């Protein structure tokens, strides 16, 4: 369980399954409220002000198609979520906050490459209510 920096929120991952020869994936709840229609990997990282949670969202569990993940930002106060860049055959990981900017690694193990991504909260678009079903990735996975 990941407690927010100010101690007012708790995020919990519940084991859902494991990819063949790969990592585990989970269901996520915040303050006991589940996030439906979505699965997540580790890690989770709270923003310094405890309002946002960065998470690795899995867009498929299909071994042949994946991994397909993205960094997802969850606005706990607004109970909404935004997906960042979709990573085909890659993982969003190593989340770090610098005030209102999220930094994370986009890692592609099959190619042995990684790149650093930076996203300012004010530039994030596409926020959606958490209780709505998420859109499919562009490749339909």
Neighbours of 141 (CB within 10 A): 16
User: Does residue 93 register a pLDDT over 80?
Assistant: yes
pLDDT at position 25 is: 96
The pLDDT score that the predictor gives to residue 63 is: 83
pLDDT in tens, 64-88: 888 999 999 999 999 999 999 999 9
Q: What share of the chain is helix, strand, coil (3-state, %, to 5)?
A: 5, 55, 40
């Amino acid at each position: 369980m990941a407690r927010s920096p100010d101690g007012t929120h708790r995020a919990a991952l519940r084991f859902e399954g494991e990819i063949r020869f790969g990592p585990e994936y989970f269901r996520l709840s915040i303050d006991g409220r589940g996030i439906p229609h979505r699965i997540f990997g580790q890690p989770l990282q709270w923003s310094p002000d405890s309002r946002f949670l960065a998470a690795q969202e899995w867009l498929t569990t299909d071994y042949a198609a994946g991994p397909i993940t993205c960094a997802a930002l969850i606005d706990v106060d607004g109970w909404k979520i935004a997906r960042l860049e979709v990573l085909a055959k890659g993982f969003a990981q190593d989340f770090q906050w610098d005030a209102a900017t999220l930094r994370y690694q986009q890692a592609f193990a099959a190619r042995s490459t990684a790149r650093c991504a930076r996203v300012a909260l004010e530039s994030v678009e596409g926020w959606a209510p958490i209780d709505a079903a998420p859109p499919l990735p562009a490749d339909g996975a």
